[in-house]
């Protein structure tokens, strides 16, 4: 039920008597009971037990836009409700009221003249006679328009929040799916590139009588084709051809250049195995195929022939280089020699290029090492600004001399791993050498007689 708030009675006007103020305040409180009922800030109505409206105040009539004559004695309380409200009244409100004798705070909607709806909160109480018999129902109606607006706004905000959350979840799911797809694509690409990379390299090195061989290929990125290459193959019954190099660029173009380089050098070796001649042939092929057509591409390469001795205690090496780092020979005595090839230019840049053949002899225990510049151009230091360099490589190999081919490659493989993210280029390593002479052991002799 709504009521009138009474303020404390003022003590006076300040003139010492208080008579004038008391009179005004008393006049303000001289509202009749009828006026308080009709003009209350909430709606009142009284109905018979069957719901017929017996009394309704002006406030509620004003809210509904109805006349007292059309309501009192003519309509029931349920007639003032919307269809949904009437159904709820018949199935829940009225039965609970009869059972409990009172009910409060029920949200319903009342019909307003002109087709509108008024959200309200209903509280009802049954008035009983002196002997406990139900006489009538008194109902209080509160305008819940502001509350409904507030609830609708809350509902709208909740729906927007749920929609935003659903969209965020959907976006996260799509992002996760995209991430998984990207990982799958990268894995598939890496597998394809690995297969293609392997097709550009020999599956394994052949067994060369009188020589020990070892090789290692380090791929800087699984998602990028490298341009380093190497090979070791027989030319005839006594001689073996070998080469190692690095083409310019990365990716599919570099792979095409690598493939052309490898097959050209192999073909050139069978036509004329002289190292300088083979590189001259490669230079002509690359220049005519690329540079002369406006798409200059080139490579660095070492090409050579190794011929193990008949007694397998030494081998003769003849090689030529085109712009490639010099080969290193790790001697059995512990020193390290460089095998330079002066005059060698980048292969494929000019229509003609001078190449010089150098010759060396490998004795028992000697190892020849070839490498690409991914090793010497590895970035070192805290800021990764310093290049490892050929001098450091020379010192590294010298500190481990003498070393067999596999020992050299194993040590350099560990060195490559120590560079971490400073190694951003592929590296090819190829080593071969004459096995160290094994000490001759006399057969055991029984001196006992």
Q: Which domain holds residue 137?
A: 24-143
- Helix (H) or strand (E) run with residue 257 in it: helix 252-271
Give the pTM: 0.59
Strand bridging mode 43-48 / 379-380: unpaired
The answer to whether 433 and 409 have CB atoms below 8 angstroms apart is no
Backbone φ and ψ for 4, nearest 5 degrees, come out as: -105, 130
Q: Is residue 48 part of a domain?
A: yes
CATH code assigned at 130: 3.30.450.20
Residue 95 sits in the same domain as residue 209:
no
How far are the Cα atoms of 124, 137, 170, 408 from residue 144, in angstroms, in the given order? 16, 21, 38, 90
Residue 228 sits in the same domain as residue 339:
yes
In this structure, the number of other CB atoms found within 10 A of the CB of residue 327 comes to 24
The domain tally of the chain equals 2
> CA-to-CA distance for 188 and 198, rounded, in angstroms?
15
pLDDT tens digits for the chain (449 residues)? 454 444 444 445 545 555 666 766 666 566 688 888 998 999 999 999 999 999 999 999 999 999 999 999 999 999 999 999 999 999 999 999 999 999 998 999 999 999 899 999 999 999 999 998 999 999 999 998 887 677 777 788 889 889 999 999 999 888 888 888 877 766 665 555 555 556 568 888 999 999 999 999 998 776 666 689 999 999 999 999 999 999 988 777 888 899 899 999 999 999 999 999 999 999 999 999 998 888 888 999 999 999 998 777 899 999 999 999 999 999 999 999 999 887 788 999 999 999 999 999 999 999 999 999 999 999 998 888 899 999 999 999 999 999 999 999 999 999 999 998 888 889 999 999 999 976 544 444 343 33
How far are the Cα atoms of 12, 77, 121, 141 from residue 72, in angstroms, in the given order? 46, 10, 21, 16
Q: Is residue 184 part of a domain?
A: no
Residue 335 sits in the same domain as residue 215:
yes
CATH code assigned at 243: 3.60.40.10
Q: Coil, strand or helix: which one is 68?
A: helix
Region of 241 please: left (phi>0), alpha (psi -120 to 50) or beta. Answer: beta
Q: Is residue 167 part of a domain?
A: no
Q: Is residue 178 part of a domain?
A: no
Q: Is residue 439 part of a domain?
A: no
């Amino acid at each position: 039920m709504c009521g009138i708030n009474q303020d404390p009675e003022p003590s006076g006007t300040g003139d010492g008597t208080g008579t004038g103020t008391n009179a005004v305040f008393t006049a303000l409180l001289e509202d009749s009971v009828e006026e308080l009922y009709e003009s209350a800030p909430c709606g009142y109505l009284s109905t018979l037990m069957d719901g017929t409206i017996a009394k309704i105040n002006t406030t509620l009539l004003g809210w509904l836009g109805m006349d007292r004559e059309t309501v009192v004695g003519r309509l029931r309380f349920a007639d003032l409700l919307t269809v949904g409200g009437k159904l709820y009244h018949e199935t829940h409100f009225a039965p609970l009221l009869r059972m409990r004798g009172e009910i409060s705070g029920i949200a319903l909607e009342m019909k307003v003249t002109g087709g509108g709806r008024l959200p309200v909160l209903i509280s009802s109480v049954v008035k009983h006679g002196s002997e406990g018999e139900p006489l009538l129902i008194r109902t209080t109606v509160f305008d819940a328009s502001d509350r409904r607006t507030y609830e609708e706004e809350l509902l709208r905000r909740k729906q927007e929040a749920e929609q935003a959350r659903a969209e965020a979840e959907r976006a996260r799911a799509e992002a996760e799916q995209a991430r998984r797809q990207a990982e799958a694509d990268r894995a598939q690409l890496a597998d394809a590139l690995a297969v293609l990379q392997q097709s550009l390299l020999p599956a394994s090195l052949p067994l060369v009588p009188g020589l020990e061989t070892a090789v290692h290929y380090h791929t800087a990125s699984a998602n990028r084709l490298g341009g380093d290459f190497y090979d070791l193959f027989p030319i005839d019954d006594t001689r073996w051809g070998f080469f190692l190099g690095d083409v310019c660029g990365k990716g599919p173009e570099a792979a095409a250049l690598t493939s052309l380089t490898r097959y050209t050098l192999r073909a050139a070796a069978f036509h004329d195995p002289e190292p300088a001649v083979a590189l001259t042939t490669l230079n002509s092929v690359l220049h005519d195929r690329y540079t002369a057509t406006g798409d200059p591409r080139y490579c660095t390469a070492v090409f050579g022939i190794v011929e193990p001795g008949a007694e397998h205690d030494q081998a003769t090496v003849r090689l030529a280089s085109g712009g490639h780092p010099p080969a290193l020979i790790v001697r059995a005595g512990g020193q390290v020699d460089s095998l330079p090839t002066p005059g060698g230019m980048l292969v494929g840049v000019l229509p003609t290029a001078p190449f010089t053949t150098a010759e060396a002899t490998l004795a028992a225990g000697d190892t020849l090492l070839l490498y690409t510049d991914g090793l010497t151009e590895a970035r070192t230091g805290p800021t990764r600004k310093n290049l490892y360099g050929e001098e450091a490589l020379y010192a590294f190999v010298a500190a481990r001399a003498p070393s067999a081919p596999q020992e050299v490659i194993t040590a350099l493989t560990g060195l490559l791993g120590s560079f971490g993210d400073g190694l951003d280029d592929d590296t090819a390593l190829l080593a071969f050498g004459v096995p160290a002479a094994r000490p001759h052991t006399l057969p055991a002799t029984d001196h006992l007689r």
